[in-house]
């Protein structure tokens, strides 16, 4: 007579499933190894949706952060970076399992419960890296992906479409410091790269954000401009059109580094920190939203999240001072200062992304 295996012996599967939905990282890797049925449950397409519906989804920020050390380490010739994890709901900081390699100025993006690390510069040779690594928050392991194809590139824009499990790479510059117009799409599930049509303009050190089916590539500069940022932007429709729209000249109010741009996942407003202020772009107009607190007047990482309700800002008053973390309520326009990071997590934040598990 056939028998069925219960997720948790003695409990109905719906109640057992409710228990599994309440697990948090870093519990998933251990739980996934308990039995095949639990591991299969975590990888079901409905699992993330059910966690959202049951309000058990976990938001984590992963940062590429300078490792603050004491003693003789401070006399090393260059900074040492690592991946850190910050959970805003609890205020807890931790270190992510170190990847096999961590190139300088690499990029990170999240697709579901996977973290994708790509590009950067080899810390020994300072040559552009084509490395792709994927970390699963469900299994707690790293795996190697197919390397970035085409001409080597660094300082490119990077954004992810979580619905298609795709990471986009836009612009940057090649090994000869020539700014690029080319773009690529990386399918995390199939581990395959595909080219996009070229942008109209070269865009070195541009910012890429993804929202509502479109890839937005903002700012950057051409080869001959060398560090003099431009104000334009281009938008790529990843749907049936599969093409770039016209260049939006004057997208940014000022010609500045677009690194602090962030799009919320609620009403689609683009936010940016500039000159001590938070501004928002609605339609074609930038408007003042809030004044940055003095001790994050030099922001290093900015992200809008929580379906357009919150903005996280990590920064310092000035270069070399300890990092502070603030949360801005985008509805009430009120700042909340979060607990100061522990000393070992107070180093410079080079980049990061939000992971929703």
What global pTM score does this model have? 0.93
- Is residue 305 within 8 Å of 265, Cβ to Cβ? yes
Instruction: Name the stretches of the chain with pLDDT < 50.
Output: 1-3, 71-74
Can you give the pLDDT at residue 69? 64
Can you give the pLDDT at residue 192? 98
Secondary structure of 150-201 in HEC code, one letter for each residue: CCCCECCEEEEECCCCEEEEECCECCCCCECCCEEEEECCCCEEEEECCCCC
DSSP string over 26-39: TSHHHHHTT-HHHH
Cα–Cα distance list, 64 to 82, 84, 114, 148 (Å): 6, 7, 16, 20
CA separation for the pair 152, 329 (Å, rounded): 40
- Domain map (residue ranges) of the chain: 24-57, 99-256
CA separation for the pair 135, 109 (Å, rounded): 11
CA separation for the pair 42, 34 (Å, rounded): 12
CB atoms within 10 A of CB 266: 15
Can you give the pLDDT at residue 169? 98
Find the length of the chain: 357
Structure-block tokens of residue 299: 């922001």
Can you give the pLDDT at residue 73? 47
Can you give the pLDDT at residue 1? 33
Structure-block tokens of residue 109: 């993006």
Can you give the pLDDT at residue 13? 85
Superfamily of domain 99-256: Kelch-type beta propeller (2.120.10.80)
- Is residue 80 within 8 Å of 69, Cβ to Cβ? yes
Can you give the pLDDT at residue 237? 95
CA separation for the pair 301, 299 (Å, rounded): 6
Q: Per-residue pLDDT tens for 168-227?
A: 999 999 999 999 999 999 999 999 999 999 999 999 999 999 987 899 999 999 999 988
């Amino acid at each position: 007579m056939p028998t069925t295996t219960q997720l948790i012996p003695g409990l109905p599967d719906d109640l057992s499933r409710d228990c599994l939905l309440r697990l948090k990282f870093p519990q998933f890797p251990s739980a996934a190894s308990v039995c095949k049925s639990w591991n299969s449950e975590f990888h079901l397409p409905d699992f993330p949706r059910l966690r959202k519906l049951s309000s058990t989804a976990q938001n984590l920020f992963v940062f590429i952060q300078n490792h603050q050390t004491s003693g003789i380490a401070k006399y090393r010739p260059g900074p040492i970076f690592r991946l850190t994890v910050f959970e805003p709901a609890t205020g807890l900081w931790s270190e992510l399992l170190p990847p096999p390699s961590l190139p300088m100025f690499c990029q990170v993006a999240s697709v579901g419960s996977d973290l994708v690390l790509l590009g950067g510069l080899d810390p020994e040779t300072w040559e552009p890296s084509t490395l792709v690594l994927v970390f699963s928050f469900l299994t707690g392991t790293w795996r190697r992906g197919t390397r970035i194809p085409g001409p080597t590139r660094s300082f490119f824009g990077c954004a992810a479409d979580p619905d298609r499990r795709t990471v986009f790479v836009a612009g940057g510059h090649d090994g000869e410091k020539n700014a690029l117009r080319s773009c690529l799409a990386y399918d995390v599930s199939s581990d395959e790269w595909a080219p996009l049509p070229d942008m109209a303009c070269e865009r070195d050190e541009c910012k890429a954000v993804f929202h509502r089916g479109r890839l937005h590539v903002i700012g950057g500069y051409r080869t001959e401009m060398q560090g003099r940022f431009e104000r334009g932007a281009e938008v790529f429709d990843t749907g049936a059109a599969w093409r770039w729209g016209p260049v939006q000249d004057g997208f940014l109010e000022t010609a500045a580094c677009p690194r602090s741009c962030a799009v919320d996942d609620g009403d689609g407003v683009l936010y940016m920190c500039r000159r001590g202020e938070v501004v928002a772009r609605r339609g074609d107009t930038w408007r003042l939203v809030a004044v940055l607190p003095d001790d994050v007047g030099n922001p290093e990482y900015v992200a809008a999240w929580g379906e357009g309700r919150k903005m996280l800002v990590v920064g310092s008053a000035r270069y070399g001072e300890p990092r502070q973390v603030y949360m801005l309520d985008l509805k009430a326009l009120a700042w909340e200062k979060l607990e100061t990071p522990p000393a070992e997590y107070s180093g410079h934040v080079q980049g990061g992304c939000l992971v929703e598990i």
